[in-house]
Structure 1
Amino acid sequence: MNFLGIFLACGCIVCSMMLEGTSPAMMLELPAFLVVVGASFFACWVQFPLPQIIGAFKCMLWTLAPPRIGFESQVELLVGLSTTARQQGLLALENSISSASDDYTRDGIQMIVDGVDKDALKEILEQGIAVEEAKYEPYAKMLEAMGGYSPTMGIIGAVLGLIHAMSLLDRPDELGPAIAVAFVATIYGLVLANIICLPASNRVKGIIAEMGLYKYMTLEGLVSIASGENTMMLKRRLAVYTGGDKTEGGS
């Protein structure tokens, strides 16, 4: 649904052009595309290593298919683990490792089964969250940087187009269209920045924050289980992350 917003935003611009009597075909300018998109990309390459650039473009796919983060299902899993641990002991959790939906949770359960101290467990799980945030943060920054460079590249493209237009002063019939084409690069730069890169960057930041919240909730639950807290206390801890609707109803 977020990816659809890009098309709708661009569609509004195209409709506006058509209402004013301007042909959208005028926007199809390869030189402007090369200056804005190509130069912005390689400017980012100066700032970021290629693997981070590739990772950033992969994260842009989150606007099309964001990762599913199931808070409610995770609460159910943690409550079930707590019940099992209270009734059968921590070693019985080994049978539940495969039911976890992500490696972070599976690793946490395995550490509990292996008898890792609760303080060490918390430290390791917190470190895992910090590492993941450090991994994804450059992706959002790269998209943000490209959104910052592209308007400037659009101005450069416009200036280059105007330089060409000035060479046509002796041909007035070609001068007007050349000036119009010169400003296409400016539009490319503004669209790339304000409809694609900057919104995508903020979207990535939002998903990273949601993933971090999910893992902090998982951390709270696993440490609670390792500490031997009762299931009601676990539900109260998890209710902070889910708003309390699901957990309070089940208590």
Structure 2
Amino acid sequence: MWVLLGLLLSTVAILGANYLEGGQLQELLNLPAALIVLGGTCGAALVQTPKNLLLRTLHLVRLALSDPQPHHADGISQLVHWCITARRKGLLALENELTGVDDPLIRNGLQLLADGKSVELIRATLEVELVAREQRDYQAARVIESMGGYAPTLGIIGAVLGLIQVMVNLEDPALLGAGIATAFVATIYGIALANLLLLPLAGKMRQIIDSRSLYQEMMLEGLLFIAEGQGPKSVQLRLQGYLERSDAKTSPA
């Protein structure tokens, strides 16, 4: 919601300033310029991005637009519940909890815990998975960042093409306006697309990756505490620091 609100605010600000300067909305609408910038930027991204990474990028873009935030307090409550279950019914009873876990990493950790694996094995397995997933997600964010670099360049290409049309049609003044419009509007499209959408979106994706990694790190530590035989109260107290770190990441500076 906040992502869409920010995009709407920035768009209204630019269009409002254009209106105050005496400009009209239709002056900023140019289909050839949009095709050059949007089509060229997407095409360049397709050239550089493997299919699997592209699908992961689209998934993270959807997450960034919906702005999900993991609830660390709920995660701690879940870990305390699993700790109580393990103490009362044994580790094997945790298999019944798997159906309610959506995150693959946490589900794998809970399965290892239910299987009675050692603390060292659980830590080694989940840390590798956590780091690998984080790196893949950062690669997806870099795809959007690279598109933010392509868009202004494509805007310049659109400007050059528009000026070429101006030079070709110097003898026909009626055609000069369209070429000049394409030239300037394409530049605006490229810069606006990069700085109002792509680069901020990449930053939002990085924030989501960091927040999710912190949450998964907390869940990993909690599962290890359960494997060590820690009591529910001990698990809760030892994870309180993650609540403070989470609040610090989301609070204004």
Residues 89-98 or 76-85, more deviating: 89-98
Residues 179 and 67 of structure 1, relative CA distance in 2, 3 Å threshold? same
Measured on the aligned residues, the alpha-carbon RMSD in Å equals 2.3
Q: Which runs of 5+ in 1 are unaligned?
A: 247-251
How far the C-alpha of 1:27 sits from its partner, in A, is 1.9
How far the C-alpha of 1:232 sits from its partner, in A, is 3.0
How far the C-alpha of 1:140 sits from its partner, in A, is 0.5
Residues 206-215 or 125-134, more deviating: 125-134
- Please state whether the residue corresponding to 1:157 is helix, strand or coil: helix
How far the C-alpha of 1:12 sits from its partner, in A, is 1.1
- C-alpha separation in 2, matches of 1:203 and 1:160: 33
* Counterpart position of 1:249: none
- C-alpha separation in 2, matches of 1:238 and 1:101: 21
Q: Which amino acid aligns with 2:181?
A: A
- C-alpha separation in 1, matches of 2:199 and 2:91: 46
Q: Which amino acid aligns with 1:44?
A: A
- C-alpha separation in 1, matches of 2:127 and 2:240: 20
- C-alpha separation in 2, matches of 1:209 and 1:243: 15
- C-alpha separation in 2, matches of 1:178 and 1:24: 18
* Counterpart position of 1:95: 96
How far the C-alpha of 1:164 sits from its partner, in A, is 1.2
How far the C-alpha of 1:243 sits from its partner, in A, is 1.7
How far the C-alpha of 1:244 sits from its partner, in A, is 8.7
- C-alpha separation in 2, matches of 1:117 and 1:222: 11
2:72–2:246 contact (8 Å) kept in structure 1 = no
- C-alpha separation in 2, matches of 1:86 and 1:17: 66
How far the C-alpha of 1:228 sits from its partner, in A, is 0.8
* Counterpart position of 1:162: 163
Q: Which runs of 5+ in 2 are unaligned?
A: 248-253
Residues 244 and 53 of structure 1, relative CA distance in 2, 3 Å threshold? closer
How far the C-alpha of 1:43 sits from its partner, in A, is 1.6
- C-alpha separation in 1, matches of 2:246 and 2:47: 48
2:32–2:182 contact (8 Å) kept in structure 1 = no
- For these two proteins, the number of residue pairs brought into alignment is 246
* Counterpart position of 1:84: 85
* Counterpart position of 2:198: 197
Q: Which amino acid aligns with 2:116?
A: G
Residues 245 and 137 of structure 1, relative CA distance in 2, 3 Å threshold? closer
* Counterpart position of 1:142: 143
Deviations 1:156-194 (A, max 9, x none): 111111121123333456535632331100001011100
- TM, length-normalised to structure 1: 0.89
How far the C-alpha of 1:10 sits from its partner, in A, is 1.2
